[in-house]
Chains A and B, each alone.
Chain A
């Protein structure tokens, strides 16, 4: 009981932190030229001075745009308790004009404790919104419109955008329009007249730098010197974290991970997985946790299918298909693969022998194959129906598939097939296979 509890508590604490975007992005808001400060500056000048503004937040998904905006709005609501109203719209839900106006009216009603009627028409809604804007302008209350998925609002007629941005051109209203989008050319999607009313301020959310990542890791994973944790445990835990993060292997792994996706969100997922596989008995994180997390993040399902599931015969068939592919026969069927298999079995490589084999068409080449097999003593020879079953198994695992969907009349063995796995994946899978014969690897390379 004594030692389990701190570990579980620590685990819960860290997992809670990772799921809370406010906590994650708080340290990024320190420096004066961070996105947080820029955004806060623009919105707070609108609140204090009453001048209208419009901004666009751009960046890949998961880079923290909505989180930073929430931080800014939260802070401003604390600083100016009664002067801020927040209206949120989402491009996926409210891109249609009627819907959007209704939603704005509804949210305004909720904010100001008025009754909202669902039967209100479009005209009534827009009159209401104008009246509210005027009232709020007179009372020096700022309305912040947050438009998520801004590029979706620009797809259809841009009436909502025009109305909002036009309202901001008048002296009577006090509003800020914040658009969030992952498309970099979101403002090029706007019509000329809407774009002219937009004030061209853009804040770009770029992936964090190395120093920021290091400080973020420390911030997320260090336990606080709280009284609820035994103090020895806290120092031990933090020590371990420091050791791990300064380890070169960890740094290499992090670098490989960040080479594929560098957004904050993916980093959080990675850390979450690592932390979740923490050993509860020792109560400390270790490098192995991060390694397991890493391998589970960069999954290659087809490779695993090859590595874990395939029998030797199936590997043979895959290698044959690959060789046929290399010989630029883009469509091959079971029979040609079988012939290729025979070629491998006989170790025949030059073209003349291939020609003679091709001349020997027919289904019952197997009898000859079998006699030769007896003399060659390869242990991996199987009958045709066994091979057919192996083929079917590969097809179920979706490592191979039929090349065309028509031609049902043809017998299964004659239908053209193709590989769904690339050569490098096949190679890797075979190399990590438990008992792959060496001859196959050699044959794959040539």
Chain B
């Protein structure tokens, strides 16, 4: 599949003009871009604005917005002065909020990645000015905005007219060598395929010979998910980067992947040739960055949908876990849905109750959404297992406490029968026991190896013992058993 389609940019260009200033004036349409840049750098410097004198300016409708210790958040709320109340029962308004928070809606400008954007842009411009080839490697965890930058990059093509862009998602290639034909395919200079030479050879010829045509456009190759090109002999990746080292090469290569040390590990030869790619690392988002990005997305909505503390909680939790922006958006949408069911559920009974004041996504919705996303289903499942299976899980937890990490089914059966005897429960027969072990294996709680004889299969535990203890702590019998 080629890289994902460009986002619909038109509705979001308004964001550029909609930012208000530090002093809390209402939004003015004449805000021009230089102002915006100043605002961003101001807030990046975290100027602590005085909180007190802003409160009388707050609209009466904005009930109980808590005083934020973080000066940056304050600046955002000034532009909320003119915002109306949000009615979550209105389908259109709910839809608008959901759309603003959907992963596929890409913002027009990339917030919090200005530094990386600048570096990449400078690199490309530098290459173009010197008419030299070069390679850039972008790395970072998933969900940190790498591919997003590439799309905004395409948007930047308007500023760089002399570039031909080839954008490839390496996952969509059937063979790794297809990347060369894709690159070549975009670069039809009128020459047909020369006999039986491979696309790679054609490219090499192209870049080593002097160009007859005067239009020497530079070529920008963007390779997404580049680690799919890694084969055992690492030839393809090498050749791709070597294209930039050929004497008359005029291509700029930008590779995107997750591993930080891809260039070092898989391309050692480049170092010796002194053409190592420039590495731009996209670090995982921090809490403040996540909050900024969320507010950026919500700022053009004419109402307040989220309580700021809720956004902060979400940002804090996800940044501590992975710093993945997609997860943040998913959690926010989940919280929206919880609010929606709550609101819609109450409509069924008595529609004449008026909408309570400031209905928005509050802390408890966000807490519920976070619990849903981060909770593992293991604890719930263990709690709802039938009794005999719980005894098996308990005996497995006891058996694998020490250093021994796997046992045969027969040994586990003995332990199981001991526990059953100690509590006067009739143990199930060996056939039934093996069946229950298979069911637990299917669910991913135990792990059964293959063996000819049923009794010789080796069993090991896939779930943490702490999870089991936590799940079974309500039942006194198991609590005593696991002591």
- List chain A positions with a Cβ less than 8 A from chain B: 32, 41-42, 45, 49, 51-52, 58-61, 121-123, 126, 129-130, 134, 159, 162-163, 166-172, 182-186, 192-193, 195-197, 199-202, 204, 206-207, 258-262, 298-303, 422, 424-425
The answer on a CB contact under 8 Å between B174 and A122 is: yes
7 nearest A-B residue pairs (beta carbon): A196-B142, A183-B444, A170-B4, A262-B386, A259-B387, A300-B429, A193-B142
The answer to whether residues A196 and B386 also contact, given A184-B443, A201-B334, A425-B430 and a CB cut-off of 8 A, is no
Query: A52 — which chain B residues lie within 8 A by C-beta?
Result: 102, 104
14 A-B pairs within 8 Å (CB atoms) are namely: A49-B98, A49-B99, A60-B381, A60-B439, A60-B442, A126-B1, A169-B103, A185-B378, A199-B330, A200-B327, A202-B372, A260-B386, A302-B431, A303-B429
A435 to B265, CA, bound (A): 77
Query: B432 — which chain A residues lie within 8 A by C-beta?
Result: 260, 298, 300
Query: A186 — which chain B residues lie within 8 A by C-beta?
Result: 444
Residue B428 lies at the interface, judged by CB distance under 8 Å to chain A: yes
Residue B70 lies at the interface, judged by CB distance under 8 Å to chain A: no
A126 to B169, CA, bound (A): 13
Query: B171 — which chain A residues lie within 8 A by C-beta?
Result: 159, 162-163, 166
Residue of B nearest to A207 (CB): B384
Q: Which of B358-401 contact A (CB under 8 A)?
A: 372-373, 376-378, 380-381, 384-388
Query: B385 — which chain A residues lie within 8 A by C-beta?
Result: 207, 262
> Which of B99, B326, B443 contacts A196, CB < 8 Å?
B326
A196 to B387, CA, bound (A): 36
The answer to whether residues A167 and B4 also contact, given A200-B327, A207-B384 and a CB cut-off of 8 A, is yes
A126 to B2, CA, bound (A): 10
The answer on a CB contact under 8 Å between B1 and A171 is: no
> How many residues of chain B get a CB closer than 8 Å to chain A's CBs?
58
CB distance from A385 to the nearest CB of B (A): 31
* 20 further interface pairs, Cβ-Cβ under 8 Å (given A51-B99, A167-B4): A49-B98, A51-B98, A129-B1, A163-B1, A170-B4, A170-B5, A171-B5, A183-B442, A184-B376, A193-B225, A197-B326, A202-B377, A206-B381, A207-B384, A260-B388, A260-B428, A298-B428, A298-B432, A302-B431, A422-B413
> Which of A170, A183, A298, A301 contacts B443, CB < 8 Å?
A183
CB distance from B112 to the nearest CB of A (A): 17
The answer on a CB contact under 8 Å between A261 and B386 is: yes
Query: A121 — which chain B residues lie within 8 A by C-beta?
Result: 174
Query: B172 — which chain A residues lie within 8 A by C-beta?
Result: 126, 163
Residue B71 lies at the interface, judged by CB distance under 8 Å to chain A: no
A259 to B99, CA, bound (A): 47
Residue B217 lies at the interface, judged by CB distance under 8 Å to chain A: no
Residue B78 lies at the interface, judged by CB distance under 8 Å to chain A: no
CB distance from B80 to the nearest CB of A (A): 25
The answer on a CB contact under 8 Å between A41 and B341 is: yes
Query: B372 — which chain A residues lie within 8 A by C-beta?
Result: 201-202
The answer to whether residues A61 and B327 also contact, given A49-B98, A122-B174 and a CB cut-off of 8 A, is no
A167 to B2, CA, bound (A): 9
- List chain B positions with a Cβ less than 8 A from chain A: 1-2, 4-5, 7-8, 95, 98-99, 102-105, 141-143, 169, 171-172, 174, 225, 258, 324, 326-327, 330, 333-334, 337, 341, 345, 372-373, 376-378, 380-381, 384-388, 413, 417, 427-432, 436, 439, 442-445, 462
A159 to B376, CA, bound (A): 25
Residue of B nearest to A49 (CB): B95
CB distance from B285 to the nearest CB of A (A): 12
The answer on a CB contact under 8 Å between B330 and A182 is: no
CB distance from A42 to the nearest CB of B (A): 8
Query: B2 — which chain A residues lie within 8 A by C-beta?
Result: 130
Interface centre among A32, A60, A299, by most chain B C-beta atoms within 10 angstroms, is A60
A55 to B222, CA, bound (A): 31
A425 to B413, CA, bound (A): 13
Query: B225 — which chain A residues lie within 8 A by C-beta?
Result: 193
A301 to B430, CA, bound (A): 10
A197 to B258, CA, bound (A): 14
The answer on a CB contact under 8 Å between A261 and B436 is: yes
A183 to B447, CA, bound (A): 11
The answer to whether residues A130 and B98 also contact, given A202-B377, A301-B431, A303-B429 and a CB cut-off of 8 A, is no
A304 to B334, CA, bound (A): 55
Query: B7 — which chain A residues lie within 8 A by C-beta?
Result: 170-171
> Which of B174, B380, B429, B442 contacts A61, CB < 8 Å?
B442
CB distance from B451 to the nearest CB of A (A): 15
A159 to B225, CA, bound (A): 11
Query: A185 — which chain B residues lie within 8 A by C-beta?
Result: 376, 378, 444, 462
> Which of A200, A207, A261, A262 contacts B330, CB < 8 Å?
A200
The answer to whether residues A206 and B380 also contact, given A163-B172, A300-B429, A303-B429 and a CB cut-off of 8 A, is yes
Residue of A nearest to B172 (CB): A126
The answer on a CB contact under 8 Å between B442 and A182 is: yes
Residue of B nearest to A257 (CB): B386
CB distance from B290 to the nearest CB of A (A): 15
The answer to whether residues A166 and B4 also contact, given A182-B442, A300-B431 and a CB cut-off of 8 A, is yes
CB distance from B179 to the nearest CB of A (A): 13
The answer on a CB contact under 8 Å between A58 and B377 is: yes
CB distance from B244 to the nearest CB of A (A): 25
> Which of A51, A197, A200 contacts B373, CB < 8 Å?
A200
A300 to B427, CA, bound (A): 12
The answer on a CB contact under 8 Å between A425 and B462 is: no
Query: A42 — which chain B residues lie within 8 A by C-beta?
Result: 337
> Which of B102, B345, B439 contacts A51, CB < 8 Å?
B102
Residue of B nearest to A42 (CB): B337
Query: A298 — which chain B residues lie within 8 A by C-beta?
Result: 428-429, 432
